[in-house]
Amino acid sequence: MRRRREFFRIRKIVRKWDRQTAKFTIDVRYQMKTEITPRTIKVAEAFGLGVDDYKEHVIYDNVTIKIGPTDIVYITGESGSGKSVLLKALEKDLAEEAINMESIKPDPDKPLIETVGNSLEEGLELLSRVGLNDAFLFIRRYSQLSDGQRYRYRIAKLVESGKQYWIMDELCATLDRDMAKIVAFNLQKQARRTGKAVIAATTHTDLFEDLAPSVHIHKGWGKRLDVKYYPNKLNQVCSVTRDIRLEEGTMEDYMQLAEFHYRNPTTHPIPLKIFALKQEDRTPVGVIMYTYPPINSFGRKEALGRVLSIREANEKIATISRVILHPKYRSIGLGEKLVRETLPLVGKPYVEVMAVMAQYNPFFERANMRKIVERTAEPSILRAVKTLEDLGFKSYLLSSTQSNLEHLRSLGEPENEKVREALLQVSSGYYKRLRSTHEPFVKKKEFDEWISKIPIEVLAKVISRLAVLAEKKIYLFWENHSIGEVP
């Protein structure tokens, strides 16, 4: 039997993990020698090399590194310098306490919301925390996400795992550098807020500011190693936001971002004020739209202690109707910035907002708005939705005009009449919003006649407006003390 020739062999691997002191010691050495071939012999003769001798290489020379259960560890160095060796050794010693991001295997055939959290509410909260706070993203599959969104999803799964140590190799290596900084910022934010540790390795050194490591390990060639320790503090400002400026915006700014809002981007209230967050090249990355207030708004009486006339409401109140961020720039505090910094600029004593997303992402409250009340839909709205479900409509698709239209076309005339009858049972206070008219009042007779005559294309839109009214919402309120109270 031919003996196997050995050209590489591990001479020494020593690892020691002391949980009491949080100290990790590693010593890694290997030996290599050259394979003897006609050409290697010629090279050896030309340069005076010993082709049959083992040469020792030291990767880690009995190094001790302190890593605690809430540290953010950033391992940098060139490819082949030994970063992955250290990462794998740490992961092996941490065993069941650690989770490697690469071990997360998303289900490619299920919507995201079905793969995160033990309940709908928990899933929405987890996805929102990492910047996947978009109604359309909730129902997308993992395969439909961009590389940046896939990273965000995996961070949500790291949080969900409950493991103390999050391990990742080649951190953000495939992402453009702005996206990489955003992901690194969000990674440390989620880890620090949940009391977990991150141990990440990468060739890129440009993530230091956003990851804000408490331990930075730079691995050079051979046994060269530099370890530095820093205060373990939450980094609250992403470097990408440094050159983003807030200014008064236009409808053009709004329309550039409208496609990223789950509401129909072609329809919107008449704006009172628009503000935009813009990059240096003037490209908008975020926009907020303030409008005149609706006649009736749940929570307003609780906030003010009395009912306002229509004239008073128009004079004293602005309503936040849209807050839109480009998907790339979510989870780095820009939503909060848009709200907090524009509230005083509207020029109204009071600002209100009725928001679905506020249940899962409290950026309105972080922007100093006060939560007043949480409300489910009015009973007549819920009854109308139930009737539509009995007629074969899917509740989760009611906000889609196209889906509604396709189903209406599949129904016979008697069923379509039942759809109209269900809408006619909605309380009169909602006629204006179902009709989407700028008239202050819509009488029941006018609404009845209108519903009975509209084509199914318009009927499909009315159903999508009903879906909006059926949403569970939170009413939030802000008072501008510098202007004063309503007399």
Give the pLDDT band (50/70/90) at residue 437. Answer: low
The pLDDT > 70 percentage for the chain reads: 91
Mean pLDDT lowest for which of 119-128, 247-256, 260-269, 297-306?
A: 260-269
Three-class HEC string of 403-427: HHHHHHHHCCHHHHHHHHHHHHCCC
Per DSSP bridges, beta strands 197-202 and 72-77 are: parallel
User: How would CATH label the architecture of 68-241?
Assistant: 3-Layer(aba) Sandwich (3.40)
Determine contact, residues 158/166, Cβ cutoff 8 Å.
yes
pLDDT digits (tens, 9 = 90+) for 393-422: 987 678 778 888 999 999 999 999 999 999
Nearest to 66 by CA among 192, 201, 230: 230
134 residue type, one letter: D
Give the pLDDT band (50/70/90) at residue 431. Answer: confident
Nearest to 369 by CA among 449, 466, 480: 480
Burial class (CB in 10 A: 0-12, 13-18, 19+), 181: buried
Mean pLDDT over residues 166-185, rounded?
A: 94
Max Cα-Cα span within the chain: 103
Beta partners for 167? 100, 199
Give the pLDDT band (50/70/90) at residue 51. Answer: low
Higher pLDDT, 295 or 90: 90
Quick check: 302 pLDDT over 70? yes
Determine contact, residues 125/360, Cβ cutoff 8 Å.
yes
CA distance 236 to 224: 33
pTM of the model: 0.79
What is the structure's pLDDT at 1?
Answer: 41
Give the pLDDT band (50/70/90) at residue 294. Answer: confident
Give the pLDDT band (50/70/90) at residue 3. Answer: very low
Quick check: 472 pLDDT over 90? no
| Domain residue ranges in the chain | 1-66, 68-241, 244-353, 379-469
Query: In the chain, how many H helices and how many E strands?
Result: 18, 16
38 Cβ contact partners less than 8 Å away, ≥ 6 residues apart: none
Mean pLDDT lowest for which of 147-151, 223-227, 483-487?
A: 483-487
Give the pLDDT band (50/70/90) at residue 12. Answer: low
Higher pLDDT, 25 or 74: 74
Give the pLDDT band (50/70/90) at residue 484. Answer: low
157 Cβ contact partners less than 8 Å away, ≥ 6 residues apart: 104, 106, 116
Q: What is the DSSP letter of 103?
A: G
Is domain 244-353 given the CATH code 3.40.630.30 in the classification? yes
Angle between helices 456-469 and 413-424 (to 10 degrees): 40
Which of 65-74, 135-144, 445-454, 455-464 tops mean pLDDT?
Answer: 65-74
What is the structure's pLDDT at 265?
Answer: 58
Quick check: 487 pLDDT over 50? no
Contacts 24+ apart (CB under 8 A), 269-273: 269/319, 269/321, 270/438, 271/321, 272/318, 272/346, 273/248, 273/318, 273/342, 273/345, 273/346, 273/347
Quick check: 215 pLDDT over 50? yes
Which of 59-73, 220-234, 272-286, 436-450 tops mean pLDDT?
Answer: 272-286
What is the structure's pLDDT at 4?
Answer: 44
Q: What are phi and psi of 130, to 5 degrees?
A: -100, 10
Mean pLDDT over residues 263-288, rounded?
A: 87
**Token pair 């909006």: residue:** 468
What is the structure's pLDDT at 361?
Answer: 81
pLDDT digits (tens, 9 = 90+) for 334-385: 999 999 999 999 999 999 999 887 777 889 999 999 999 988 888 899 999 9
Q: What is the mean pLDDT of the chain?
A: 88
